[in-house]
Amino acid sequence: MSRKFVIMFVCTGNTCRSAMAEGALKKLLESRTSGNYEVISSGTGAAICFPPTMYAIEAAKIWDVDISKHESQPLTEELIKKSDLILCMTSSHLGEVTRMNEEGKSKAFLFKNYPDNNPEGEPLDDPIGQPLDRYNETFLEIGEYLGKYIDEIVKGIDEK
């Protein structure tokens, strides 16, 4: 069996944006491909094994996605090497990926720029500390962008 195509989302704490994006992409891929893939997430400043925020869990329910069992993990060089596609929520997250491992430069993208590899662009704002409505908006924004990218992501999985 061939190695899995690994998609990783990167944010800061790995308890909001990247955890919601991981759950949303898993949900979208369920019906799009039976390919050999894995969706993971990490954070540039993440602690180990923290749960998602309560509001991130609630926002993900918009798509019947359960992220309550998610556990945060720090971004590592090993995760970068393992990943085939890395989607970063801000330019600083993208910079950290490429600083940690030069290999990351060819497979890491600013989330809202994918598949364009321009490292500058609009970030996906962090909802941490804000009300549930802001988390819902963030989750729907994640879904909107993933909807635009899904064909490209499936193509990458299927070509693996």
Indicate which residue of 84, 125, 126, 158 is catalytic: 125
Per residue, the 3-state secondary structure of 26-41, as one string, reads HHHHHCCCCCCEEEEE
Could you tell me which of 146, 145, 133 has the C-alpha nearest to residue 58? 133
How far is the C-alpha of 81 from the C-alpha of 46, rounded, in Å? 18
Residue 107 contacts by C-beta under 8 Å, 6 or more apart in sequence? 83, 84, 85, 86
What would the DSSP string read from start to end of 125-145? ---TTS-HHHHHHHHHHHHHH
Bridge partner residues of 8 (DSSP): 40, 86
Residue 125 bears catalytic tag: yes
Residue 99 bears catalytic tag: no
Residue 3 bears catalytic tag: no
Residues noted as catalytic: 11, 17, 125
